[in-house]
Amino acid sequence: MAITLFAMACGLGAIEASRVGDAHLALRLILLAAIADGVDGTVARRLGVAGAFGGELDSLSDIIAFGVAPAFLFSGVYGEVFAPLRLILVIVFVGAGAFRLARFHVLPSGPYFVGLPIPSAGILLAASVAGPFTPNPVVAGGIAVALAALMVSKHPFPTFAQWRKALLGALVASAALIAIWPSGEALAIASLAVIASYVLWGFAVELIGGDEASMGRTRA
């Protein structure tokens, strides 16, 4: 539970960083929240404290760190955009993330995620607007809407369940790297490369896997 609360705290910190105009710090905190989100379940299972309460708390943390925080970052970077339009884009992105989390809890587990996981969507949005290639408002808005559509879609995306133990050490090492990496722009580029590769992998799995990926839509 402490790790989940740390992820939530990182999300809240990212919101505050966005408010004061520090986009790189906001991105760094969102990435640290993603690392914490990746290890909390494994740690809880190893300690024998995993349960329904932790799962609900994890979802609340996710909507803050990967829904609200990236949306606030988007709104802060594009403060010159007509306010009602920015609000609509924030609502669309956060609403899609909430829908994705709610659906995750009511569907049976399976070999694939149904829809793009909210951590991936949140990181992609944050890295897109905080990186060196910050798109114009129209392109950025299109990215936010596209990510929202992927979250509410039934497209299958691979899970990492079978690699949790192997990835645990890598995630911890990544947390240290994120905390000390001096260049926020380089961090954004690396994040974009990793998460974009995951999204492309998800589409490749469906193209190559065919029937198996289709089964994953209804089982995950």
Size (the chain), residues: 220
Per-residue pLDDT, 214: 45
Distance (Å) of CA 89 to CA 148, 156, 189, 202: 9, 24, 23, 25
Number of domains in the chain: 1
End-to-end CA distance of the chain: 24
Per-residue pLDDT, 116: 95
Looking at residue 27, which CATH number applies to its domain?
A: 1.20.120.1760
pLDDT in tens, the chain (220 residues): 788 899 999 999 999 999 999 999 999 999 999 998 888 777 767 776 666 777 788 889 999 999 999 999 999 999 888 899 999 999 999 999 999 999 988 887 777 889 999 999 999 999 999 988 878 999 999 999 999 999 999 999 988 765 666 666 666 677 777 877 767 788 889 889 989 999 998 888 777 765 444 444 433 3
The parent domain of residue 42 ranges over 2-219
Q: Which residues, 6+ apart, have CB-to-CB distance to 150 below 8 Å?
A: 115, 116, 121, 199
Is the full-model pTM beyond 0.85?
yes
